[in-house]
Structure 1
Amino acid sequence: MRNKGLNGYRALMTVIVAGLLLLLSGCESSNIQYNKQGYASRFGVMSLGPDGKYHVYAETTQIHRHVSQDYAHGFEVKRRDNGRFMGYFEVRFPEPIEISPELEKHYTVLEGGRVIRSESELHWGLYSSPFWFSEDDPLGQYELSIYIDGELYRTIQYDVVPFESGLPF
């Protein structure tokens, strides 16, 4: 024998929980602020997502110079319609950096190592670029310029500060 009152309660709770999950699942996309060209971006501390791409999980313009492959910072640019677009970036350092053959394989080095530029690449819906530090990267103010379809999309100035052990990231 079934208790009809208990079944009704379970059905009501199932509907409420399902409704909340549906509402919450739309929160992330509804909080994204797209510009009039249909792009949105974030900069800060990143982690590898389940889709195999890096995503910003904490927006900040104060980045700790922590030499660890587990600590990445960078940006992501999303296109509202998930369409394709070309993107590249430039990073301006507070002082020239040491140029390694590996660095020259992946970037165009400008101004004697003060600026690096990535290659322009085709992206579908999401452009994500993580960065890691090496021991000799300088502290100070950096500038990141992101270009979409050949035009400057956004410039971000951020400070690289010493890493203090025990910091959550």
Structure 2
Amino acid sequence: MLDHISLITGNQGKAREYEGLLGIKVTAVKQDLIEIQELDVVKVVEQKAQDAYSTLRAPVLVDDTGLTLQEWNGLPGALVAWFIASVGPQGILKMAAGVTNRRATATTAIGYADETGVQVVTGTLNGTLTTELRGTNGFGYDPIFIPDGHHRTYAEMSSEEKNAVSHRRLAVDELRKALNVFN
């Protein structure tokens, strides 16, 4: 069983989320990885996990998250981080101002790599894109995504509430089922 793992990310908030979800020490490691240009988070994660393990030579987690709008036929998908970095959540809302079908899907793919290879799991949660920023917690698109069955955005939820229902939680649950290395 692992009692700690490295997560390739520059996002300390994401590392804290994983620590809470996995119940082990998660060390954020900032590392430039090959990131293919692809809407499919699974394909992105497979490449990133291979690249991360070949550099670290120790068990490692990588992830990628996509947010897709039904009306945009899969966009922005895995490119959502670049959308957030360039225009922010408010910019996404501005681009989606004329969208009538605001159904959205958030998907996290987690890649675990060790000496035996790479395994990828996913967690997917449907929801709705808001019309305005709501809440101050979280990061990324948290202030513009309301998961199905809820009336608040991720950013309006506490960390504990978000971790109980998020697409990342669903992916971590799948990771626990697929691997027998976490408590």
- Tell me the TM-score normalised to structure 2 length: 0.29
Q: Which has the higher helix share?
A: 2
Q: Rg bigger for which structure?
A: 1
Q: Which has the higher strand share?
A: 1
